């Protein structure tokens, strides 16, 4: 199994999936975000719906970001696209 699932973006900060494990994390995370929002719609109170949808989406995004950060070759840093790596 490869050690790194993501590679650094060439411009900006962050990473992009390069293995099936990275793609699985990405697709599962997006699916979970949609699921959280859809499940929140079943709550009666509008303010509670918004809170659950927002906080759930942020929690899934934070988990995805943590996994990507840990599994990115070379870590995350700002890249302008001009460096040679």
Does residue 77 fall inside a structural domain? no
- The predicted model scores a pTM of 0.79
Q: Half-sphere exposure of residue 60, counting CA atoms within 13 Å on the CB side? A: 18
Does residue 54 fall inside a structural domain? yes
Mean residue pLDDT across the chain: 88
Residue 70, token pair as written in the block: 């840990």
Confidence of residue 34 (pLDDT cuts 50, 70, 90): very high
> What DSSP element (H or E) covers 5?
none
pLDDT at residue 74, rounded to an integer: 81
Does residue 57 fall inside a structural domain? yes
Q: Which domain holds residue 54?
A: 18-71
The domain tally of the chain equals 1
């Amino acid at each position: 199994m490869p050690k790194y699932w993501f590679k650094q973006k060439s411009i900006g900060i962050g990473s992009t999936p390069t293995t099936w494990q990275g793609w699985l994390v990405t697709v599962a995370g997006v699916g979970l975000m949609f699921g959280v929002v859809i499940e929140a719609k079943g709550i009666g109170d509008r303010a509670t719906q918004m809170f659950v949808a927002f906080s759930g989406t942020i929690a899934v995004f934070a988990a995805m970001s943590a996994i990507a950060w840990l599994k990115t070759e070379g870590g995350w840093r700002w890249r302008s696209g001009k460096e040679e790596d």
